[in-house]
Amino acid sequence: MHRLAITVAFLLSGCASLPPITPFQEQSASPIERAYQLRNENRKAEAVALLEQAAMADPNNVPLIRAFGRALIDDGRDISQGIRVLENALDPAAPDVSSRNAMAAGYAEIGNLLRAKELFAQALKLDPTNAMVLVNNAKVY
């Protein structure tokens, strides 16, 4: 009982309280963060729509464009468009393992195993211990 009284007193003192999340704070999350939340809630189509709208508003935002391409592939309804988006967002000066992995998985999904293997090899060269790339790569062999 003594511990409970101390805990209650601590909480009531405001030392452990956090401000409640308001709609404004929730909306202040980046489109990428919000899309990730939607994806985790299995609302993939909404994530794609959110990222598409954000990408159209900010077409030079490479991380946003990459997230949009990965979301298209993950959603599974327009894998070819997702691959095209990611191909256009590739930057040799800033290699992106996640995008290469997503493109490779997309190519594998549409049956282009040769291109999938090439992209998995590129991703593994960048990060040889990446578990997602290793798992996806194993699926095409």
Q: Is residue 83 part of a domain?
A: yes
pLDDT at position 47 over 90: yes
Lowest mean pLDDT among 14-28, 45-59, 73-87, 95-109: 14-28
- Please indicate, yes or no, if residue 8 is contained in any of the structural domains: no
Rounded distance, CA 54 to CA 14, Å?
38
> What CATH number does residue 53 fall under?
1.25.40.10
Note whether residue 77 is domain-resident. Answer: yes
Residue 6 lies in a domain: no
Residue 16 lies in a domain: no
Domain count, the chain: 1
- Residue 94 has what pLDDT? 81
Domain that holds residue 69: 29-139
Residue 10 falls inside a structural domain: no
- pLDDT of 28 reads 66
Residue 2 confidence class, pLDDT cut points 50, 70, 90: very low
Asked if residue 15 belongs to a domain, the reply is no
d(CA 80, CA 58): 22
Q: How confident is the model at residue 27 (pLDDT cuts 50, 70, 90)?
A: low
Nearest to 95 by CA among 121, 134, 72: 121
Share of the chain above pLDDT 90, in %: 72
Band of residue 91 on the pLDDT scale cut at 50, 70, 90: confident
